[in-house]
């Protein structure tokens, strides 16, 4: 898995593509994007984790992620982009979080 700044070679997601996807989503989604480490530091609870895939393009992956997150009521989420499969399937793991339960 990789985050912003990671690079894939040979027709796969490049760090700048990951950054573009994340910044575009941030402007469209009400929830706040955080890292897994920030979620741990904030002592957030994990609500749901799921994988989003696209065999079309990185842009299509962005649209699919956006559709999933628009339906969510959770205040936080993180995205980890996964190594594409041999079939050039672009993948991301989305984790949604809610506040610390006291």
**Burial bucket for residue 18 (CB in 10 Å: 0-12, 13-18, 19+):** buried
Structure pTM?
A: 0.73
Task: State yes or no: pLDDT of 12 exceeds 60.
Answer: no
Which domains are present in the chain?
15-98 (3.30.1660.10)
Residue 77 parent element (H or E)? strand 76-82
Q: What are the tens digits of pLDDT across the range 30-76?
A: 889 999 999 999 999 999 999 999 999 888 998 999 999 988 899 99
Q: How many residues does the chain have?
A: 102
């Amino acid at each position: 898995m990789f985050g912003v700044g990671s690079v894939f070679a040979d027709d796969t997601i490049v760090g700048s593509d990951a950054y573009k996807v994340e910044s575009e989503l941030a402007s469209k989604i009400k929830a706040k994007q955080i890292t897994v480490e920030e979620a741990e530091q904030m002592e957030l609870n994990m609500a749901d984790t799921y994988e989003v895939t696209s065999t079309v393009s990185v842009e299509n992956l962005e649209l699919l992620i956006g559709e999933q997150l628009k339906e969510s009521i959770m205040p936080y989420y993180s995205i980890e982009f996964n190594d594409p499969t041999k079939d050039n399937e672009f993948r991301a793991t989305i984790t949604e979080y809610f506040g610390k339960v006291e």
